[in-house]
């Protein structure tokens, strides 16, 4: 039963899509959602990882191939799901990268830069567009986007990634306003530095990524961001946790 004031929203048997579920924050979110009894569609490009994640969890975890930078892959998202999985309560959009990032603007080519926007911004928009119709028809649902402290403060070498996360913030704010007269909730989670595969994928260099995280004053674990996501998703139905900024204690 959901709806009583102060009663935590119950995710049991609710279907939640996690886009970008194959590692880091998305993978940790899948585990937390499953622990809450949700049925989780784990989507990303690396199907092998998703299949491992979904193994021995039939009916509870569905692996789904998804490239958010590909309009066809995203537009066909719902129709590619089996019948019993299409009534999506929530979508957590974790898909994102910073490949070529932490570099001066003239140190990567235009396509490398453009793919960060294509994935982080257009990809988020596409996933939200794919799931919003049924939420709007029902008048209920929950969308969670992944912003970043990089969407609040710029830093040298971050021009494109910063731009992508500023855009995610504006988009998420706009989405919340557009559905403000419904029971659809829209949350932006803004993590600080979190130890995931993000830095390795940025540089294609695991040792450099390890050194980067080891030299940071503090880092968060992906499970700690999943915890914030679950806090928002299990807030009472009448409560929209609009933004959650989570940073390491030592910055
Ligand atoms: P991660 O471990 O590298 O995970 C990124 C996820 O995004 C992977 O599952 C990856 O899956 C997926 N992805 C990338 N491109 C995709 C595409 N075109 N289509 C579908 N999925 C795609 O990094 P993370 O730290 O968990 O990042 C998750 C989100 O948190 C990102 O939006 C990131 O910007 C944000 N964030 C991270 C930090 C941090 O310090 N780590 C801080 C603030 C915000 P596949 O490669 O299998 O497709």
> Which tokens in the block code for residue 20?
């970008």
Cα–Cα distance, 28 to 44 (Å, whole number): 14
Give me the torsion for CA of 12, 190, 237, 136, rounded to 10°.
-90
Cα–Cα distance, 155 to 4 (Å, whole number): 44
Candidates 200, 195, 199, 201; CA nearest to 220 is 195
Please tell me whether residue 117 adopts helix, strand or coil conformation.
helix
pLDDT band at 4 (very low <50, low <70, confident <90, very high): low
| Digit-coded pLDDT (tens) for 49-77 | 999 999 999 999 999 999 999 999 999 99
Note the maximum CA span of the chain.
Answer: 55
**What is the CA(43)–ligand 1 centre distance, in A?**
12
H/E stretch holding 142: strand 140-146
Q: Which of 155, 161, 213, 231 is catalytic?
A: 161
Q: Which ligand 1 atom lies nearest to the CA of residue 196?
A: 2
The CB density around residue 232, as the number of other CB atoms within 10 Å, is: 23
Task: Kindly list the domain boundaries of the chain, sorted by start residue.
Answer: 15-192+221-246
Catalytic annotation present for 231: no
Q: What percent of the chain has pLDDT over 90?
A: 97
pLDDT at 1: 53
| Digit-coded pLDDT (tens) for 106-158 | 999 999 999 999 999 999 999 999 999 999 999 999 999 999 999 999 999 99
Candidates 92, 117, 106; CA nearest to 25 is 92
**What is the CA(26)–ligand 1 centre distance, in A?**
7
Cα–Cα separations (whole angstroms), residue 37 to 13, 59, 111, 166, 230 = 6, 11, 41, 33, 12
At the second CATH level, the architecture of 15-192+221-246 is 3-Layer(aba) Sandwich (3.40)
Ligand 1 pocket residues where CB is under 6 Å: 20-26, 44-46, 66-69, 94-97, 119-120, 123, 146, 148, 191, 193-194, 196-198, 201, 222
């Amino acid at each position: 039963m959901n709806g009583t004031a102060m009663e935590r929203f119950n995710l049991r048997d609710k279907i939640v899509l996690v886009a970008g579920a194959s590692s880091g924050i998305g993978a940790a979110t899948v585990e937390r959602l499953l622990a809450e009894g949700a049925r989780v569609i784990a989507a990303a490009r690396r199907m092998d990882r998703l299949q491992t994640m979904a193994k021995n969890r039939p009916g509870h975890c569905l692996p789904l191939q998804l490239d958010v930078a590909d309009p066809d892959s995203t537009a066909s998202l719902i129709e590619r799901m089996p019948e019993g999985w299409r009534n999506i309560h929530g979508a957590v959009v974790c898909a994102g990268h910073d490949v070529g990032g932490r570099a001066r603007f003239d140190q990567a080519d235009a396509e490398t830069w453009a793919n960060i926007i294509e994935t982080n911004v257009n990809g988020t928009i596409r996933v939200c567009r794919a799931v919003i119709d049924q939420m709007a028809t029902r008048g209920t649902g929950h969308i969670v986007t992944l912003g970043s402290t990089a969407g609040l403060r710029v830093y040298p070498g971050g021009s494109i990634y910063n731009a992508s996360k500023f855009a995610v913030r504006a988009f998420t704010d706009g989405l919340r306003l557009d559905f403000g007269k419904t029971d659809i909730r829209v949350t932006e989670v803004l993590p600080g530095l979190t130890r995931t595969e993000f830095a390795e994928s940025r540089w294609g260099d695991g040792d450099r990524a390890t050194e980067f995280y080891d030299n940071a004053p503090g880092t968060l674990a992906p499970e700690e961001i999943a915890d914030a996501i679950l806090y928002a998703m299990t807030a009472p139905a009448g409560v929209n946790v609009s933004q959650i900024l989570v940073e390491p204690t030592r910055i």
